[in-house]
């Protein structure tokens, strides 16, 4: 089928999934114990005031009405109002998304840039030192809890050696962008180096699992490919080894690798939540954890929805790209 | 159920690959340690000794001379609004008594690691078991019947997968709290065996009588991970339903349940087991992350000990480092075993759901 | 190579992030203004992240033409950011600390805790009536330029105590015994009291921030939470919710302008993070330094540790209505079982003081003849036997990270009690929010049987502590004792010596009956950069107004 039909189908599926997500998130709030009014009100307040607040929050309506209110607000971007601050959930979420995106993208870049060459080197030098090293590294990498890795990196590189800051985020990409737009190039460059300095440890922490995973996949995928007949045929034909490896084998290796990477993006986002907690990085994950601890359900719902919707969107994109790029699989 | 060919393949994998052997040894050791915790732990994990807090592990002895506040009756002394200090040399000796050091309240880290293994392994195995049960049932049914049933079940799976697993787990725990905590009595302690053994060997007695199992976490991790099993089971069911013997059984009038259980399931077991091993590792990582964030009700847990150790990151790094090493070693072992199984049994399995 | 820690400070002023995110938010819907606001004083800083060129550490926009006081920027890092900027809508100390720089009360306290005139120059009771009059200071302006008048004071008081004015403020019990207020004339406000209310001036010395009536009435509740308009020495420059609050010197302050030209509040929940930031030069003052970091800071050339006993007491409440805590002997046993000196010395590193009564030494009503319980595990064991509750299992509920070393203290307490052969004790970690929810319902049955909590009483009034925590009708009470209640009643209706002696008797009774395991007085332990000259206060408040640059 054509790209258009494929995309439509996937978008419809995605839409269904999003609806499912919204419903699950609504259900979470319903089964959550505790009275949201308590978050807003002091304990010694009169019952009439309490009733008023509950009515204002719309909590005295029957469930299906509340559900409809909730769901219908979402397409317009209305995710409710925070119980702790009284401001719009969508604002807080919007403000936190750039930080999480920065972290995710940085980690992915770290992973891809390191892992693919490492996997290739490992596969092409099988049973020699580079292979052992890479295999060991990737084995440990997928077995290490990323929050612990973060804490260890802070201890070694930040506290002991003072090479990096311990946490938080001095400046974000949107701010750097602003500087560029106002033609303050020197400050923007300065800002960019500061940004790099602050994001290094979190990106390494988040990226390690991914790096290890991609290394392993690249290695095993490439080993598989190298064993295939067409490779021997190409060599027999006299093609130079490097051409064999890098043009054909690598491309064929990368396709399934990219698929699995796409499948694993959820892991990356989940890892980002924890990494943000360890490094006090002001992204959406921190918002989620803080709002759960504060019992600020609208904020919890809002961040859950945005995280999941983002994930669904990314999956659709990855799916489409993969199918588009892979000459063997059509859009069916 | 398990074909001789499979067993040969397993043995071959084992012989060729030293890492597989290492993996098995590690997993077995951790299992034994967890099971026999009350016999093996040098101390009770909650015994505190405030005077001996933050003592380093073997091989690291600190001697520092620094300005230390003077104390009177336990409290620091003020003079003209300033704290009075004196120069003191503080030795922190590592002792065999606490080979891995002590934590902020003077509790033995090695013992806490040993007891922490119980929680991690319990959650890992029970959580995976539950996920397997639910997931395989759902997947087999979906793959076997196809049609609407398949659609509904797989759509629900898609919705579950739309949440990154840790995010969903955090949300569920935030909502459910620690409602399902269970205290399981420890047979070694209850029967007196532990006390007898420990007195005989010269170890301090008084080990904890029961282990707290964080039930909510087990349910949550199962809820989050059943999908992987469902997919594999569904795939198997889809292909197996076309097999001749299945069709024959149907023609003979065997009930669907019987077919599923006696014909489909045994053949699907292999990839499911491989996935199971990988999932145990993933669930252990997930559990440690949840306890790190403070969402677990277990009283000794690797993840939470790491969280407790963070505030000592500049003064007693081992408090946070040790539990993490325990996690890494255990999960490496499980991954090696998983690799071995996968290479020997079915090289086509993908899908690792990690944290 | 390694950039100076101050590079971060430069970029912390960039409002660009907020501006872009706000336009993103515009796409998502909602037509509120962005959270990043400029104040009305026309700071000239612009709206789109033009806040500073960085580099030289500050702009001259706010304080132009003032050549006596130079640039002195200070950053303070607490454990939490304020949840909003409405001074009447919070109960947390970190929020309080931010508020007190922009808003002021009628009376204030100096660093020693004595009452000093602030927006009121004089105050007295009204003869023959249950009321008090406050004479207000003239020529005081709010940050928006308007003059402060008596109606503003009356409105602010009513907004706190009257749930029909404005909203139901969680601070109403801080002005307990105050039923309302009205302006008598332009410069006098009369406060109506319930009964004698002997502590009314104490309350006003600690609480009740004054806001401008017209400013508040013109705004929605959430707008008030995003802006500040007070009479204090600092005005709001930018507010990035949950990240930072930046204040600048208010040149038209009624008193001498502050030496600090720019004040930034940030937060880091993890104590070791705060310490690292201090040592790396990213911040000037940090709160709640854990004892194990004290030496590291003191041995560092750029910073040092300052501490002061605070007004907060930590204790373990034991519900008198539930076994085994219904037995007085059992409760006393619990006190004998723990080595409080060791806990203070080892867990708190000496940064705390043992307590044996609900009233702290600096407070009104403290009984100097009552000592903390001694460490006597044998006596504890004996008392447990006598109480008939031998073999019992108890669980201590504690928050984590809310108070200095709360979890470690709880674990130490449970550890000591567990060492008793006839009691088994363990710790249950609780989320502070849900624990407080259970404590504040008003029903004693909702509370856990045994829990760790802290109470800070910035008014230095022992009566308030005992009323809230131990009287039968107290909001957070875990106890009920007729004799104790009547002693507090006496104190509420008398003054001076009679009052003092009633309070001291109440403290002695509380020690004897042991409704609590008495723990420690918390010390406020701060890390202070050598750039800043500042002495800590005892009420957990940090006042940048008192700061000056070090020579």
pLDDT tens per residue across span C94-130: 889 999 999 999 999 988 888 899 999 999 988 888 8
Task: Give the mean pLDDT of C428-433.
Answer: 78
Distance (Å) from the alpha carbon of A161 to chain B's nearest alpha carbon:
11
pLDDT at B65: 67
Q: Which residue of A has its CA nearest to B352?
A: A264
**Whether pLDDT at B238 is above 70:** yes
- 3-state DSSP helix/strand/coil % of chain A, to nearest 5: 80, 0, 20
At C18 the pLDDT is: 39
In three state form, how does the secondary structure of C385-422 look?
A: HHHCCCCEEEEEEEECCCCCCHHHHHHHHHHHHHHCCC
Distance CA A282, CA C150 (A): 42
Which residues make beta-bridge pairs with C286? C77, C527
CA B347 to chain centre: 25
Which pLDDT does position C475 carry in this prediction? 75
Instruction: Using pLDDT thresholds of 50, 70 and 90, give the confidence band for residue C492.
Output: confident
Instruction: Give whole-number Cα distances, C545 to A250, C99, C259, in Å.
Output: 65, 13, 7
- Count of pairs with CB atoms under 8 A, one residue in A, one in B: 157
State how far Cα C249 lies from the chain centre.
23
**Cβ neighbours of B46 in C, within 8 Å:** 411, 414-415, 418, 426
* Per-residue pLDDT reduced to its tens digit, B247-276: 777 777 777 777 777 777 777 788 888 889
Mutation choice for C interface testing from A94, A99, A195, A198 by most C CBs within 10 A: A94
Count the Cβ atoms, other than its own, within 10 Å of residue A230. 12
Question: Which parts of C65-220 fold into alpha helices (H)?
Answer: 93-102, 150-161, 200-206, 213-217
Asked whether B211 and B229 are in contact (CB, 8 A), the reply is no
Cα first-last separation, chain B:
32
Interface test with A, best of C13, C14, C78 (most A CBs within 10 A): C14
pLDDT at B57: 87
Q: Would you call B171 and A16 a contact, using CB atoms and an 8 Å cutoff?
A: no
**Interchain proximity B48–C415, CB inside 8 Å:** yes
Burial class of residue B109 (count of CB atoms within 10 Å of its CB; 0-12, 13-18, 19+): buried
pLDDT of A160 higher than 70: yes
Mean pLDDT of chain C: 83
Least confident of A24-33, B174-183, C56-65: C56-65
Q: Does A234 have pLDDT greater than 80? A: no
Task: State the average pLDDT over residues C322-347.
Answer: 92
Q: Does C535 touch chain B (CB under 8 A)?
A: yes
User: Looking at CA atoms only, how far is residue B312 from chain A in angstroms?
Assistant: 10
**Would you tell me which residues 135-194 of chain A have a C-beta closer than 8 angstroms to some C-beta of chain B?**
139-140, 142-149, 151-152, 154-155, 159
pLDDT of residue C29: 33
Partner C contacted by B313 (CB < 8 A): yes
Indicate yes or no: CB of C30 within 8 angstroms of CB of A88.
Answer: yes
Residue B345 pLDDT greater than 70, yes or no: yes
Chain C interface includes B310 (CB < 8 A): yes
Whether ipTM exceeds 0.90: no
The beta-carbon neighbor of C30 closest among A78, A184, A280 is A78
Q: What confidence score (pLDDT) does residue C416 get?
A: 93
Supply the Cα-derived Rg of chain A in whole angstroms: 24
pLDDT at res. A35: 66
pLDDT at B323 over 90: yes
Note the pLDDT of residue C37.
Answer: 34
How many whole angstroms separate alpha carbon B335 and alpha carbon B285?
12
Give the model confidence (pLDDT) of B146-198 as tens digits: 788 888 888 888 888 888 888 888 888 877 776 677 788 888 888 888 888 88
Of C263 and A68, the structure prediction assigns the larger pLDDT to C263
Q: What are phi and psi of C36, to 5 degrees?
A: -85, 110
Q: Is the pLDDT of residue C26 over 50?
A: no
Q: What percent of chain B has pLDDT over 70?
A: 92
A34 chain-C contacts, CB cut-off 8 A:
434, 437
**Cβ-defined contact of B353 to A271 (cutoff 8 Å):** no
Average pLDDT over every residue of B78-90? 73
Residue C23 in this model has a pLDDT that exceeds 50: no
For residue C30, pLDDT beyond 60: no
Residue B88 binned pLDDT confidence (cut-offs 50, 70, 90) = confident
CA distance A153 to chain B (A): 11
Mutate to test the interface with A, among C5, C30, C81, C174 (most CBs of A within 10 A): C30
B 255-294 residues inside an 8 A Cβ radius of A: 281, 285, 288-289, 292-293
- How far apart, in whole angstroms, are the C-alpha atoms of residue C266 and residue B275? 46
B62 touches chain C (CB under 8 A): no
Q: In angstroms, rounded to a whole number, what is the distance separating the alpha carbons of residues A43 and C387? A: 35
**Contact residues, chain B, for C538 at CB < 8 Å:** none
Q: Which residue of B has its CA nearest to A299?
A: B171
Taking contacts as CB-CB distances below 8 angstroms, the residues of chain B near A264 are: 352, 354
Could you tell me what percentage of chain C is helix, strand and coil, using 3-state DSSP and rounding each to the nearest 5?
30, 20, 45
């Amino acid at each position: 089928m054509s790209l258009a039909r494929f995309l439509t189908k996937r978008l419809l599926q995605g839409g269904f999934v999003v609806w499912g997500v919204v419903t699950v998130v609504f259900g979470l709030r319903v089964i959550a114990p505790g009275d949201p009014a308590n978050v807003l009100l002091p304990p010694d307040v009169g019952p009439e005031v309490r009733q008023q607040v509950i009515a204002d929050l719309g909590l005295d309506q029957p469930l299906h009405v509340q559900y409809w209110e909730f769901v219908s607000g979402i397409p317009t971007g209305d995710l409710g109002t925070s119980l702790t601050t009284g401001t719009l959930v969508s604002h807080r979420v919007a403000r936190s998304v750039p930080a999480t995106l920065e972290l995710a993208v940085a980690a992915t870049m770290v992973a891809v840039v390191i892992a693919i060459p490492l996997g290739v080197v490992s596969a092409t030098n099988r049973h020699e030192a580079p292979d052992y090293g890479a295999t060991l590294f990737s084995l440990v990498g997928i077995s290490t809890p990323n929050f612990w890795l973060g804490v260890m990196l802070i201890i070694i590189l930040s506290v002991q050696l003072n090479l990096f800051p311990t946490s938080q985020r001095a400046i974000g990409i949107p701010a750097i962008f602003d500087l560029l737009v106002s033609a303050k190039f020197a400050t923007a460059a300065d800002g960019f180096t500061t940004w790099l300095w602050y994001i290094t440890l979190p990106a390494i922490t988040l990226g390690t699992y991914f790096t290890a995973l991609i290394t392993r996949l690249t290695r095993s995928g490439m080993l598989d490919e190298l064993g295939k007949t067409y490779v021997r045929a190409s060599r027999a034909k006299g093609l130079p080894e490097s051409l064999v490896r890098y043009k054909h084998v690598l491309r064929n290796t990368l396709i399934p690798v990219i698929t699995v990477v796409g499948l694993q993006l959820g892991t990356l986002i989940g890892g980002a939540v924890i990494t943000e907690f360890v490094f006090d990085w002001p992204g959406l994950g921190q918002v989620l954890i803080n709002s759960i601890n504060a019992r600020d359900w609208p904020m919890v719902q809002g961040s859950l929805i945005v995280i999941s919707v983002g994930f669904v969107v990314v999956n659709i994109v990855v799916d489409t790209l993969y199918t588009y790029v892979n000459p063997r699989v059509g859009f069916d | 159920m398990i074909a001789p060919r499979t067993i040969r393949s397993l043995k071959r994998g084992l012989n060729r690959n030293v890492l597989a052997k290492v993996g098995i040894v590690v997993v077995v050791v951790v299992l034994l340690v967890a099971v026999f915790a009350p016999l093996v732990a040098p101390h009770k994990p909650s015994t505190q000794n405030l005077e001996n807090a933050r003592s380093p592990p073997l091989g690291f002895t600190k001697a520092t001379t620094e300005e230390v506040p003077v104390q009177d009756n336990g409290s620091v002394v003020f003079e003209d609004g300033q704290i009075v200090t004196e120069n003191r040399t503080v030795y922190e000796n590592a002792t065999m008594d606490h080979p891995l050091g002590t934590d902020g309240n003077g509790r033995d880290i090695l013992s806490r690691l040993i007891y922490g293994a119980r929680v991690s392994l319990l959650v890992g195995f029970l959580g995976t078991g539950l996920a397997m049960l639910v997931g395989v049932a759902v997947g087999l049914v979906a793959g076997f019947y196809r049609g609407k049933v398949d659609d509904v079940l797989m759509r629900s799976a898609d919705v579950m997968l739309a949440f990154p697993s840790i995010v969903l787990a955090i949300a569920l725990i935030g909502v459910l709290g620690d409602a399902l905590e269970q205290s399981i009595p420890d047979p070694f302690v209850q029967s007196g065996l532990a006390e007898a053994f420990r007195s005989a060997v010269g170890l301090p007695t008084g080990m904890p009588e029961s282990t707290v199992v964080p039930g909510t976490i087990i349910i949550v991790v199962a809820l989050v991970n059943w999908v992987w099993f469902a997919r594999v089971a569904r795939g198997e069911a889809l292909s197996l339903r076309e097999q001749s013997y299945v069709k024959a059984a149907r023609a003979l009038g065997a009930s669907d349940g019987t077919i599923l259980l006696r014909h489909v399931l045994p053949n699907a077991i292999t990839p499911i087991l491989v996935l199971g091993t990988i999932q145990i590792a993933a669930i252990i990582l997930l559990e440690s992350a949840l306890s790190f964030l403070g969402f677990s009700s277990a009283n000794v847990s690797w993840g939470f000990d790491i969280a407790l150790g963070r505030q000592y990151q500049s003064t007693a790094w081992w408090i946070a480092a040790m539990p993490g090493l325990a996690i890494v070693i255990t999960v490496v072992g499980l991954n090696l075993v998983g690799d071995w199984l996968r290479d020997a049994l079915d090289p086509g399995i993908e899908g690792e759901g990690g944290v | 190579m390694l950039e100076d820690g101050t590079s971060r400070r430069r970029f912390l002023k960039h409002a660009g992030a907020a501006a872009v995110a706000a336009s993103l938010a515009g796409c998502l819907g909602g037509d509120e203004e962005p959270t990043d606001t400029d104040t009305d004083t026309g700071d000239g800083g612009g709206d789109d992240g033009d806040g500073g060129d960085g580099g030289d550490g500050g702009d001259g926009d706010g304080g132009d033409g003032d050549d006596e006081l130079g640039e002195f920027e200070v950053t303070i890092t607490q454990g939490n950011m304020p949840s909003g900027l409405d001074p009447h809508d919070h109960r947390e100390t970190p929020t309080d600390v931010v508020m007190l720089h922009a808003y002021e009360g009628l009376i204030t306290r100096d660093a020693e805790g004595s009452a000093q005139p602030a927006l009121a120059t004089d105050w007295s009771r009204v003869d023959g009536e249950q009321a008090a009059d406050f004479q207000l200071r003239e020529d005081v302006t709010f940050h928006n330029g308007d003059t402060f008048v008596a109606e503003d004071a009356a409105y602010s008081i009513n907004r706190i105590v009257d749930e029909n004015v404005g909203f139901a403020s969680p601070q109403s019990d801080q002005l307990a015994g105050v039923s309302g207020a009205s302006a008598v004339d332009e410069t006098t406000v009369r406060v109506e009291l319930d009964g004698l209310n002997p502590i009314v001036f104490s309350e006003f010395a600690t609480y009740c921030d004054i806001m401008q009536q017209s400013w508040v009435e013109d705004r929605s509740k959430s707008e008030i939470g995003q802006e500040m308009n007070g009479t204090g020495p600092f005005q709001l420059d930018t507010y990035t919710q949950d990240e930072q609050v930046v204040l600048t010197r208010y040149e038209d302050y009624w008193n001498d302008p502050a030496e600090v030209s720019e004040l930034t509040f940030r937060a880091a929940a993890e104590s070791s993070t705060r310490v690292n930031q201090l040592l790396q030069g990213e911040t000037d003052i940090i709160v709640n330094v854990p004892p194990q970091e004290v030496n590291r800071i003191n041995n560092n050339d750029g910073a040092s540790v300052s501490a002061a006993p605070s007004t907060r007491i930590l204790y373990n409440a034991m519900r008198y209505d539930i076994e085994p805590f219904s037995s007085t002997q059992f409760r006393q046993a619990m006190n004998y079982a723990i080595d409080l000196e060791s806990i203070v010395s080892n867990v708190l590193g000496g940064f705390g003081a043992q307590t044996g009564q609900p009233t702290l030494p600096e407070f009104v009503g403290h009984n100097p003849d009552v000592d903390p319980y001694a460490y006597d595990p044998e006596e504890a064991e004996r008392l447990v036997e006598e109480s008939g509750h031998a073999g019992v299992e108890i669980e201590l509920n504690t928050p984590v990270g809310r108070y200095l070393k709360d979890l470690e203290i709880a674990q130490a307490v449970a550890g000591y009690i567990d060492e008793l052969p006839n009691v088994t004790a363990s710790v249950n970690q609780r989320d502070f929010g849900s624990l407080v929810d259970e404590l504040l319902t008003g029903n004693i049955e909702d509370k856990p049987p045994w829990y760790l909590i802290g109470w800070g009483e910035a008014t230095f009034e022992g009566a308030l502590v005992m009323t809230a925590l131990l009287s039968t009708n107290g909001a957070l009470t875990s106890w009920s004792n007729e004799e104790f209640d009547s002693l507090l009643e006496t104190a509420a209706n008398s003054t001076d010596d009679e009052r003092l002696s009633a309070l001291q008797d109440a403290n002695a009774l509380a020690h004897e009956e042991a409704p609590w395991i008495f723990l420690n007085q918390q010390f406020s332990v701060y890390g202070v950069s050598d750039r800043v000259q500042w002495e800590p206060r005892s009420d957990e408040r940090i006042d940048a107004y008192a700061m000056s640059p070090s020579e």
